[in-house]
Amino acid sequence: LPAERACLLIAERWRAILPSAQQGFSPEFLAQLEETAASEYLGELAYRGGGLTTLRDLSLGTAPTTSAAARSAQVKELLIGENIRHASLLNLQTRENNFGVVLFPHSAPKPGSSSQTRLLLGVGLQIGMTLENYVVMHDAHRRTKEYELLTQIGQAISSRLDKDEVLRTVHKELGQLFDTSNFYVAFQQGEYIHFELEVTEGKIQPKRSRKLSNGITEHIIRTGAPL
């Protein structure tokens, strides 16, 4: 199927792991689609079409619509802005997950023959399975890294007697997993909360204390549960 332009639009749920990609469109096109939640809307259209659907004569206002009329109009406006008149949507669905949709414009109202349609559906399934395998491997790698990190933190705690050094080591090691540029470690002692390590915008702040209140810190200490 000849297509000089195409867009892989990942569903919002998976964007922290899987990046969207595009070729042949304007640089801002992908970001604009993501801002309008287009992956969910277009994915729904493709799913309703059995995994593959075609948008025809967008400039004439005959594109399919759903109950989300405002979102439909936004997406349609973006597509027309890229000089797209006809486009096909290929759903990237597996048994367990929906990873997004592939959008590719074409000049003719009908993208191809029935054999090409079957081929595209097979390709969509293979892409979906590949993305799913990557997510599984990514999660396994993350869990392994978390285990290694906990081991390193345990070794650091057992090999150091200075409390400040231990807390700085914990802060440094956790920075391998997530952004710790804003971070603190606080303890409750009596009627006070003591901030033993506090980092703001990457800078270590002086130690401080304050009286108990109904803040987030007190809630976490009281319940022992994350937010």
Q: What is the mean pLDDT of each run of 10 residues along the chain (227 residues)?
A: 81 91 91 86 87 81 53 83 89 90 84 80 91 92 85 77 84 86 94 94 94 91 86
CB 52 within 8 A of CB 46: yes
pTM, two decimals, is: 0.64
Helix axis angle for 114-159 and 163-174, nearest 10°, is 170
Domain shared by 95 and 12, yes or no: yes
Distance CA 89, CA 53 (A): 5
| 136 in any annotated domain | no
Cα–Cα distance for residue pair 98/70, rounded to 1 Å: 23
Q: Which of 113, 148, 164 is the last residue of a domain?
A: 113
Q: How far, in Å, CA of 145 to CA of 149, rounded?
A: 6
Q: Judge whether 154 lies within some domain.
A: no
Q: Are residues 106 and 185 in the same domain?
A: no
Q: In the chain, what percentage of residues exceed pLDDT 90?
A: 37
DSSP 170: H
Among 24, 46, 41, residue whose Cα is nearest residue 77: 41
SS3 202: coil
Tell me: do 107 and 190 sit in the same domain.
no
25 inside domain: yes
Same domain, 192 and 94: no
Q: Is residue 1 part of a domain?
A: no
- Tell me: do 103 and 187 sit in the same domain: no
pLDDT value at residue 1: 52
Can you say whether the dihedral through the CA atoms of 40, 41, 47, 52 is positive or negative? negative
Residue 132 lies in a domain: no
Q: What is the pLDDT of residue 59?
A: 63
What is the spatial distance between Cα 162 and Cα 150, in angstroms, rounded to a whole number? 19
> What's the token pair of residue 94?
């597996």
**What does DSSP assign to residue 164?**
H
Q: How far apart are CA 132 and CA 146, in angstroms?
A: 21
Is there a domain that residue 85 lies in?
yes
Q: Are residues 96 and 16 in the same domain?
A: yes
- pLDDT computed for residue 62 by the predictor: 47
Per the structure, how many domains does the chain have? 2
Same domain, 11 and 105: yes
Range of the domain at 57: 6-113
Together in a domain, 194 and 107: no
Quick check: is 140 in a domain?
Answer: no
Residue ending a domain, choose from 97, 113, 129: 113
- Residue at 151 is within a domain: no
Query: How would you classify residue 143: left for phi > 0, otherwise alpha for psi between -120 and 50, otherwise beta?
Result: alpha
Task: Check whether residue 101 and residue 186 sit in a common domain.
Answer: no
pLDDT in tens, 102-126: 998 888 777 667 888 888 889 899 9
pLDDT for position 61: 53
Q: How far is CA 136 from CA 17, 119, 206, in A?
A: 11, 26, 42
Q: Last residue of some domain: 113, 147, 164?
A: 113
Query: How far from chain centre, in Å, is Cα 171?
Result: 25
CB atoms within 10 A of CB 53: 20
